[in-house]
Structure 1
Amino acid sequence: MGLGVAGHFRTAIDRDNDGVVVNAFYRHSRIKYYLKDRRALRIQTVINDTYDIGVLRRLEHLAEVIAKARDANRRLLDTIRAGQSCVLASPVIERVAQPTLTEDGRRAPALRFADPRVMALTGALCLSLFAVTGVTNNSLRALTARMLGTGYTTSQMTYDLRRLRFNGLIRRIEHTHTYVLTPDGQRLAIFYTKLNDRLLRPLLAADQPQAPPNLRQALTTIDHHVDDYIAQARLKTAA
């Protein structure tokens, strides 16, 4: 079982059952998802204390509890879908990779791929639990700082929340200090993180012993072809 803790949030991956069950805990409540009979994805939200989601405990508020639980299920499902359909040539990526102006004329700072702070920020936003609970300055800053591995101040987090919001990647829940990812924000965060962790890092380490043998063999083949082209062109490699 693997655990990750961030304030009131906690996640656990259970591999002891027939498959993998992901549990995301928030205060006294939780949401879990897994493959039912290995055929269909099932998402289940359990609210043990209605105060966890800002609802009173009386029976007349049951409809509101159900609505919020279903909304949590939907947001998590949207995140899972976004992770399976990242598109390289996305207008969102093209837009946020450089500074732009919002519709009301405000400057939206860029979120450039490979910038360490941006990569830590988007990696933190990929946490499935945030899709359910939303993020705050404190919760997102704690995880981003951990992933960045250096100092990360409250003012830096405020600035990053501002550029996420101005780029249309998050929106604030009315009358709260909590933000949720927009569909564009989900796609961008997952795309940046998957591209870095699943493609660039393995390729950059392809000549290392821990790299898959077929990848190291392919890299060696490419090197041989490049050397042949250099020799045929009668160009000398640098000493």
Structure 2
Amino acid sequence: MRKRGIAFEALDNGILSCEDPKALQRICDGLDERKIDRLLRKWLARLPHPFDRRDRAAGYRYALSILQAEFALTQVLDRPVTGRIFFEQVIRENLDIGRPGQVQLIFDRRVNRRTPGRFRTRVITEGVTPSLHVDYKRSRIKQYHKEGQALRTETTINDTRDFRVGRLLRNLPELRRIGFAANRRMLEIEQISHDCALGEDAFQDLQRARHVHGQRAPALRFADPKVQALLQALVMFVFVARGFTNQDLRQAYAVLLGLRPGEIGPGHMSYELRRLRLHGLIERVPKTHRYQLTNRGLQTALFYTRVYSRILRPGLALVSPQAPAASPASLQRSFRTAEQAVNAWCDQVKIAA
């Protein structure tokens, strides 16, 4: 960019700002396998090597192979402090992202018992900058708050055969597609997980029965324990990538209800699947008997389960008269103060509360 006279501000090994972002992107896209190969041929013509003219005429040549490839996405934050808070929340919400089902979703590769390698999430803190690492076979995704000003997501492929791709340089475009797709999928999962709030209309729509093409879908009432169990089963990421069957969901659903899988019949589970499908939370995988969550379904399941398990259940336990004496009392005091204020106002206007 200096040669072209394009003003920019560096961010370590990235770019913080640039007066011509489109030109910058064209420069980055121009680093392809042909340009790298030309650089190799340039230096091979200058440096001594064992292939003489006759060897080269016979077809003996050097070929570049890829031992490691890194594909990074740097998103500069206009409010770095807010960005750091967001990233720390993302880490908390996605500590299970290294589970096989999650890795499968991110890398779009099937993971089974025979798949080698580790599948784990690690949170590493260097100084005061946390980073999130997701391992898949010999490759990994790293995400961190770069220089306090940007969110950096980078996929490092240490063995191209992890993705059934050869090592020769001509495979760089396919590796590039895999790497950047993994970065984007990671961010999409985090976005849905972080921003799972539902609007009033969407929430109320779930509390009522729906009629779709003459079919009736019973309501998904928030306070219904069976609905909570059903959505907790759905939110398991292992079901997201390759879909799930009636039996898959039935087993998880039964455990959450404290039942054995055999105590819930396939017919009852078909009823629940139909209800979820008509509400738009799941969709059938074409030409199969498997289902997958929609974005609306994942958002709804996260909202229902998080509000219930993180706000309502612990909050009501704190304000209950039976709450342990050692539990935080601030919420109890607030409710008691509000109750006393209402009672005092009722006394003033001579209304029995």
Which residue is 1:109 aligned to? 218
Corresponding residue SS for 1:135: coil
Which residue is 2:339 aligned to? 223
Unaligned runs of 5+ in 1: 51-56
* Change in 2 beyond 3 A, CA 1:234/1:105: same
2:296 to 170, 184, 205: 184
Pairwise CA RMSD: 4.2
Q: Is the 8 A contact 2:100 2:238 kept in 1?
A: no
Which residue is 1:40 aligned to? 151
TM-score normalised to structure 2 length:
0.50
Matched, 1:84 2:191: no
Which residue is 1:54 aligned to? none
Structure 1 residue 164, shift from structure 2 partner: 1.0
Taking the aligned partners of 2:270 and 2:186, their CA distance within structure 1 comes to 25
TM-score normalised to structure 1 length:
0.68
Matched, 1:214 2:214: no
Corresponding residue SS for 2:318: coil
Q: Is the 8 A contact 1:171 1:179 kept in 2?
A: yes
Structure 1 residue 107, shift from structure 2 partner: 1.7
Aligned partner of 1:140: which letter?
A: L
Structure 1 residue 192, shift from structure 2 partner: 0.9
* Change in 2 beyond 3 A, CA 1:216/1:236: same
Residues paired across the two proteins, number? 228
Matched, 1:146 2:248: no
* Change in 2 beyond 3 A, CA 1:80/1:91: farther
Taking the aligned partners of 1:235 and 1:133, their CA distance within structure 2 comes to 60
Structure 1 residue 131, shift from structure 2 partner: 3.2
Aligned partner of 2:304: which letter?
A: Y
Q: Is the 8 A contact 1:76 1:128 kept in 2?
A: no
* Change in 2 beyond 3 A, CA 1:127/1:232: same
* Change in 2 beyond 3 A, CA 1:213/1:44: farther
Q: Is the 8 A contact 2:198 2:300 kept in 1?
A: no
Corresponding residue SS for 1:175: coil
Q: Is the 8 A contact 1:170 1:180 kept in 2?
A: yes
1:18-37 aligned within 5 A: 19=130, 21=132, 34-35=143-144
Corresponding residue SS for 2:292: strand
1:52-131 aligned within 5 A: 77-102=187-212, 104-131=213-240
Taking the aligned partners of 2:235 and 2:246, their CA distance within structure 1 comes to 16
Structure 1 residue 21, shift from structure 2 partner: 4.5
* Change in 2 beyond 3 A, CA 1:66/1:99: farther
Structure 1 residue 73, shift from structure 2 partner: 6.3
1:194 to 303, 306, 312: 306
Q: Is the 8 A contact 1:13 1:20 kept in 2?
A: no
Identity %: 32
- 1:90-121: CA deviations, max 9, x gaps? 4433323221111x222222211111111011
Aligned partner of 1:40: which letter?
A: L
- 1:63-111: CA deviations, max 9, x gaps? 9998788777655543432233334434433323221111x22222221
Q: Is the 8 A contact 1:72 1:132 kept in 2?
A: no
Structure 1 residue 220, shift from structure 2 partner: 2.9
Taking the aligned partners of 1:171 and 1:64, their CA distance within structure 2 comes to 29
Taking the aligned partners of 2:265 and 2:198, their CA distance within structure 1 comes to 32
